């Protein structure tokens, strides 16, 4: 039996609460001998104490261990000497230094969760957004404020290598993922603004090239503005959506909103060799330390971690543990007795953790 070493970084705000919750659930699901968690420091609060955002030993562990489980990073008011915010630099540094180019964000409606899209039932909304994570507008280079403060610019850069690898990742994912759009057709939807900007036309053209290697997966296109409407009107059409960094960020928050919000939205950031798993939300300083956060996003990210490890290491037992965690979360939500506050209930972070562990044990 293989043992997996997981570097955990609790981070800031609600990070410690939700990270500990996910560790408890993962341990319940897999047993303490299969997963070994190793806690490491980092983040904005750590910077305020020590002057370091990402300590060397944390980075070394993230690089050498099987996976990284992260709470969240960022605290308002913690700044570098030049006055700029530390924010979630911990996370950004890991993303770039480990080259985590594919940000995978499943959008799935669980039983027991009321979607603001009233006509949709559990199982009918089940798709994945793949956000390119290392280039595009958020990785703007060469921008600035010019002409004595009258003009500001940012530069949107895309590379063939960067687009090709995230496109290939998305088509591969469409081939192997569970869940399917209503018509059963495996599909990658390319979300862009190819009609307006050359960079997005380039993005689309490269996705087209990659699509030729995947006869069994349909390629589909949507402009970033139009897709915001489609995601509300026909969410059951989607399978995998691939988007440039900024568009991916925006539509994944929208997608999360359709299935219960940030407290339930999981996220995985994957590279060729490394994987970092955390909820799609930030450190939520407004509710930190109150036992009020929903740990479900981080728990479901932990399930993504197991599935990814299972694929990397041909370990089917881990994949079925991932399924069991998702089923336990769904069972707890469907029972309606332990409802997170952001879904209209009164359950605390520890209540939710205990209920999911009980469900797994039961
Ligand atoms: P970032 O810049 O890191 O994305 P953000 O500014 O988007 O962060 P979040 O920290 O994600 O902000 O929080 C946005 C809102 O969602 C806040 O009101 C927060 O309380 C709420 N929220 C985020 N995560 C959770 C959670 N796990 N449980 C409950 N509420 C949450
Ligand atoms: Mg955000």
Per-residue pLDDT of the chain (362 residues; tens, 9 = 90+): 899 999 999 999 999 999 999 999 999 999 988 999 999 999 999 999 999 999 999 999 999 999 999 999 999 999 999 999 999 999 999 999 999 999 999 999 999 999 999 989 999 999 999 999 999 998 876 666 776 678 888 899 999 999 999 999 999 999 999 877 888 899 999 999 999 999 999 999 999 999 999 999 999 999 999 999 999 999 999 999 999 999 999 999 999 999 999 999 999 999 999 999 999 999 999 999 999 999 999 999 999 999 999 999 999 999 999 999 999 999 999 999 999 999 999 999 999 999 999 999 98
Whether residues 122 and 253 share a domain: the answer is yes
301 lines ligand 1 (CB under 6 A): no
Residue 110 maps to a domain: no
Q: How many domains does the chain have?
A: 2
Residue 127 resides in a domain = yes
Residues 37 and 155 in one domain: no
Same structural domain for residues 281 and 324? yes
**Interacting residues of 68 by C-beta distance below 8 A, sequence separation 6+:** 6, 7, 8, 9, 62, 94, 274, 275, 276, 277
**Does 253 lie in the same domain as 120?**
yes
Kindly state whether residue 58 falls inside one of the protein's structural domains: yes
Distance between CA atoms of 68 and 7, rounded to whole angstroms?
Answer: 5
- State the Cα torsion 193-195-198-199 to the nearest 10°: 20
Strands 67-72 and 126-132: unpaired
Q: Determine if ligand 1 sits within 6 Å of the CB of residue 352.
A: no
pLDDT at 28: 98
Verify that 78 and 165 share a domain, yes or no: no
* 108 within domain boundaries: no
What's residue 362's pLDDT?
87
- Which residue's C-alpha comes closest to atom 9 of ligand 1? 282
CA of 301 to the centre of ligand 1 (A): 16
Would residue 107 count as lying in a domain? no
Residues 202 and 307 in one domain: no
Compute the distance between CA of residue 222 and CA of residue 212 in angstroms, rounded to an integer.
19
Mutation pick for ligand 1 pocket among 249, 284, 329 (CB with most ligand atoms within 8 Å): 284
pTM of the model: 0.96
> Under 8 Å CB-to-CB from 228, ≥6 apart: which residues?
251, 254
Residues 319, 235 share a domain: no
* Structural domain range at position 215: 115-259
Final residue of a domain: which of 259, 294, 321?
259
Q: Is 293 in the pocket of ligand 1 (CB under 6 A)?
A: yes
What's the alpha-carbon Rg for the chain, to the nearest Å?
A: 20
User: Dihedral of the CA atoms 182, 185, 186, 189 (nearest 10)?
Assistant: -80
Catalytic annotation present for 121: no
Q: Are residues 248 and 143 in the same domain?
A: yes
Which CATH number fits the domain that encloses residue 280? 3.40.718.10
262 touches ligand 1 (CB under 6 Å): yes
Q: Are residues 240 and 283 both part of a single domain?
A: no
- Are residues 185 and 156 part of one domain? yes
**What ipTM does the predicted assembly reach?**
0.94
Give the residue from 259, 292, 317 where a domain finishes: 259
Does any domain span residue 109? no
Name the residue at shortest CA distance from atom 7 of ligand 1: 282
For residue 19, which of 5, 34, 40 has the smallest C-alpha distance? Answer: 40
For residue 299, what are the CA distances in angstroms to 8, 67, 330? Answer: 13, 15, 12
Q: Which residues contact 324 (CB under 8 A, 6 or more apart)?
A: 29, 360
Give the torsion through C-alpha atoms of 299, 248, 44, 82, to 10 deg. Answer: 180
With a 6 Å cutoff on the Cβ, whether 263 touches ligand 1 is yes
Could you confirm whether 225 is annotated as catalytic?
A: yes
Choose one of 205, 239, 259: the last residue of a domain.
259
**The one catalytic residue among 111, 154, 253, 315:** 253
**Residue 300 belongs to some domain of the structure:** yes
Query: One of 63, 99, 193, 223 is an active-site residue; which one?
Result: 193
Please indicate, yes or no, whether residues 37 and 10 belong to a single structural domain of this protein.
yes
Q: What was the pLDDT predicted at 182? A: 82
Is residue 136 situated within a structural domain?
yes
The question of whether 110 is a catalytic residue gets the answer: no
- The structure tokens listed for 12 are 């800031």
217 and 276 inside one domain: no
């Amino acid at each position: 039996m293989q043992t997996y070493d997981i570097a955990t970084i609790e981070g800031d705000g609600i990070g410690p609460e939700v990270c500990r919750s996910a560790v408890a659930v993962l341990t319940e699901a897999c047993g303490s001998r299969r997963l070994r968690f190793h806690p490491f420091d980092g983040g904005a609060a750590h910077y305020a104490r020590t002057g370091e955002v990402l300590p060397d030993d944390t980075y070394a562990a993230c690089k050498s261990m099987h996976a990284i489980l992260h709470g969240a990073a960022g605290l308002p008011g913690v700044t570098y000497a030049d006055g700029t915010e530390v924010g979630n630099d911990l996370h950004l540094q890991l993303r770039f230094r480990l080259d985590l180019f594919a940000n995978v964000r499943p959008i799935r409606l669980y039983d027991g969760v009321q979607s603001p899209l009233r006509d949709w039932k559990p199982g009918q909304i089940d798709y994945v957004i793949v956000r390119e994570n290392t280039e595009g507008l958020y990785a703007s280079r060469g921008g600035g404020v010019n002409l004595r403060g009258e003009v500001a610019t940012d530069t949107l850069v895309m590379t063939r290598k960067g687009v090709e690898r995230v496109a290939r990742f998305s088509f591969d994912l469409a081939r192997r993922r569970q869940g399917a759009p209503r018509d059963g057709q495996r599909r990658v939807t390319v979300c862009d603004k190819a009609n307006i900007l050359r960079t997005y036309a380039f993005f689309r053209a490269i996705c087209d090239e990659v699509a030729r290697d995947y006869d069994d997966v349909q390629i589909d296109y949507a402009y970033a503005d139009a897709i915001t409407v489609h995601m509300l009107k026909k969410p059951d059409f989607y399978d995998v959506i691939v988007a440039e960094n900024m568009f991916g960020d925006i539509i994944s928050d929208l997608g999360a909103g359709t299935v219960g919000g940030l407290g339930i939205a999981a996220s995985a950031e994957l590279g060729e060799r490394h994987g970092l798993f955390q909820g799609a939300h930030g450190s939520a300083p407004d509710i930190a330390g109150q036992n009020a956060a929903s740990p479900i996003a981080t728990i479901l990210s932990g399930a993504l971690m197991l599935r990814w490890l299972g694929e990397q290491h041909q370990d089917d037992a881990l994949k079925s543990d991932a399924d069991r965690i998702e089923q336990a979360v769904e069972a707890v939500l469907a029972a309606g007795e332990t409802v997170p506050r952001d879904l209209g209930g009164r359950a605390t972070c520890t209540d939710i953790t205990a209920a999911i562990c009980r469900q797994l044990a039961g």
